Structure formats: C-alpha cells, structure tokens
Amino acid sequence: MNTTSTPKTARVAARTTLTPQSWIDAATEVLVDRGIDNVRVDVLAGELAVTRGSFYWHFRDREDLLRQVLKAWRDNATEQLTARLERASRDPLAQLRDVLSLPFRGRAAVRAARIELALRAWARHDSMARAAVDEADASRIDYIAQVFSALGFAPIESRHRAFVLYSYLVAESQLTPVSGAQQRAERRRFVEQLVLQPLGAGLRGRSRTI
C-alpha cells in the first residue's frame, strides 16, 4: 500500500491541523522580529510550511488576520491579565504590588515587552493598531485607578496616580538592558512608596486642576 500523502491530502491536513491561533502566533512572531510590513500571507505560509491557500481557510484577508492579532493581544495582555490580578487577591495593596511586579516576571515579561514594543511601533502609522493600543492603555489605567480608589484615594487623584504608575511600568519594561537587577528592585520599591505617599494639602488642591 502506498502511504505517501497526495498533494490534496496534504492541503486538507494543513487546514485541519493549523488553527487560526497558529496563524495569529506566527504573525505575532514575525511582527516582533521583522516588523508589520513583513506580516504578509506569503511570509507566514513559509514560516508555517503550508500553502497560501491554507490561510484563506481561516481568514478573509490580511486585514482580518491583523485585526485578530490585535484582539488576541488585547484579550491576553489586558483583559485576562486584569482578571487574573483581581482573582489573585481582594486586598488592593496586594493587587498594587502584583501590578508593580509585572515587568519583573522573567521570560514572560520580556516576551510581553517585545510584543508591546512592536505593537506600539506599528500603531505610530496605523489607525487600527493605534485604536487597539489606546484602548488597552485606557483599560489598564482604569484598573489601576480602581485599585487606588480602593486604597482610599479620591477619584481624580487615583487617576493621576494610576497614570504615573502605568508610565513607570511601560518604561521599566523597555529599559531593562540599562539597569541591573538591584537598581530595578530599588526603583520598584521607591515607586511603590512614591505612589502610596499622601499628598500635602497644597498639592492635593492643585491636583484637581491638572
């Protein structure tokens, strides 16, 4: 019996073994390593060792894939992450410290930072990516502001503190190569003290007009 797969059989196998997530993962890897201009159907088909036709089994076109890449990132890096942080503890201080720990979570944090950097570069010249990044930033800041509110800070002050903390997280995730582990740990402790420090009466009054 000849057990060699026919071309038609191979194409059917590719369609059934590859999932939409396979293409999304491949697209994300190419985005991170080579930039958005290289996230093309022919490049991804080569990476996955399948024909271009396999792509259209799962997606209408390249824009459909890019939309799904952004959705997957949003779901994983914002919505699911926020849900995990909320489930981990009901204590707002513990939640705040969990948020502060995000840039320090080993390989997972490094990979997340690389993806985010690539997405932000893409968003500089693409409105769809810009909208996704803006939505993620706003959602994350909203969550952190809720944590500060639970710690007893006034709503507007909570949002200012959330923005300061979020800006630190974004910077820390991108500045890893320029600081040693001890410096990063010291900076993390300093930022925690800074964002939890009550404002003086004068500063608190001026914060309403910021």
> What is the pLDDT at residue 178?
66
pTM for the full predicted model: 0.85
Which residue bears the tokens 């996955």?
48
Q: Which of 58-62, 86-90, 202-206 has the lowest mean pLDDT?
A: 202-206
**Per-residue pLDDT tens for 35-47?**
999 999 999 999 9
Average pLDDT over all residues of the chain: 89
> How does DSSP classify residue 57?
T
Report the amino acid identity of residue 76: N
**Per-residue pLDDT tens for 80-121?**
999 999 999 999 999 999 999 999 999 999 999 999 999 999
Are the beta carbons of 54 and 45 closer than 8 angstroms?
yes
**Per-residue pLDDT tens for 1-42?**
444 444 443 444 444 579 999 999 999 999 999 999 999 999
Rounded to whole angstroms, the Cα distance separating 121 from 69 reads: 15
> What is the pLDDT at residue 141?
98
Are the beta carbons of 27 and 66 closer than 8 angstroms?
yes
Which residue bears the tokens 């949002």?
159
- The model's confidence at residue 188, banded by pLDDT at 50, 70 and 90, is very high
> What is the pLDDT at residue 19?
94
> What is the pLDDT at residue 17?
78
- What is the DSSP secondary-structure string of 98-159? HHHHGGGSHHHHHHHHHHHHHHHHHHTT-HHHHHHHHHHHHHHHHHHHHHHHHTT--HHHHH
> How does DSSP classify residue 11?
H
